[in-house]
Structure 1
Amino acid sequence: MFKKENKGFTIIEVLIVLAIAGLIMLIVFLAVPALQRNSRNTQRKNDVATYLSAVNEYITNNNGKMPTTAANVVTINDLANTGFYTEPTTAPATGARTTAITVDTFELVTAAKCDTTTIGNTIGASGRSYAIRFAVENSSGAAVPQCQEG
């Protein structure tokens, strides 16, 4: 007698392959949002560094004068007008900033330095000091305040 040879895959083999493919897809779908968020946060930090460089150039080109407004807060109007960043609210003239800042908003606060006790806030300082307040996203998409001095 001849044995009939079965060709193909068993149900168990197909289910195992589908389970492995499902796990791979799950890992990819969990990793992609984190990668995108990290990319956006890196871009925000690069924008802040670029803006700090521009402020330093402004100070150099204007004989040491700081960019100022009545409230000691310089907002990023050009970037706000493009829709990438929103313009923040005004600040008290002391240079202290304790209001919340949202993602995709940053502000230059003159006569201020970063508060070492509360991350993202500024405190009053000498007239030649300045800091930029901005926010990055955490894993849930909420704003995490940051501060960087120039």
Structure 2
Amino acid sequence: MEPGQYQENMRRATEVVRAILRHGAIPIILGGDHSVPIPVLRAYEAFGPIFVVQIDAHLDWRDEVNGVREGLSSPMRRASEMPWVSGMAQIGLRGVGSGRQQEFDDARAYGSILVTAREVHEHGATAALQRIPAAERYYRNLRR
């Protein structure tokens, strides 16, 4: 990665993940920020469909924040725009900071399965996981 070379860094990340997929391996991505899922999911274009499972307190469905559309609070919206992403489940939602009413409405209109942290506490993790449909492959996005 090169400091200040955001677009080039994203392109490189996509290429690395794409190379891993071409070799038939499963990429494991550790660390990073909200900009990481976007280039990773782009790598799946020829390897889809893929279902996204996000485990996070925040919705991450903003269109942009301060002019930034590929990072901050927007990775799940960007994922929803990729035709090879077949759907998503968002589990553990509790923070309202990254999602206003319009973002929640947009996520629901897309068909995202929204599971709140309260639902997980009340009904258990197994009940939350049972809401995830069967898919050929999954991308899990886990944020602390």
TM range (shorter): under 0.3
Of the two, which has the highest radius of gyration? Answer: 1
TM-score, length of structure 2 as denominator length: 0.26
TM-score, length of structure 1 as denominator length: 0.25
The higher-RCO structure (CA 8 Å, 6+ apart) is 2
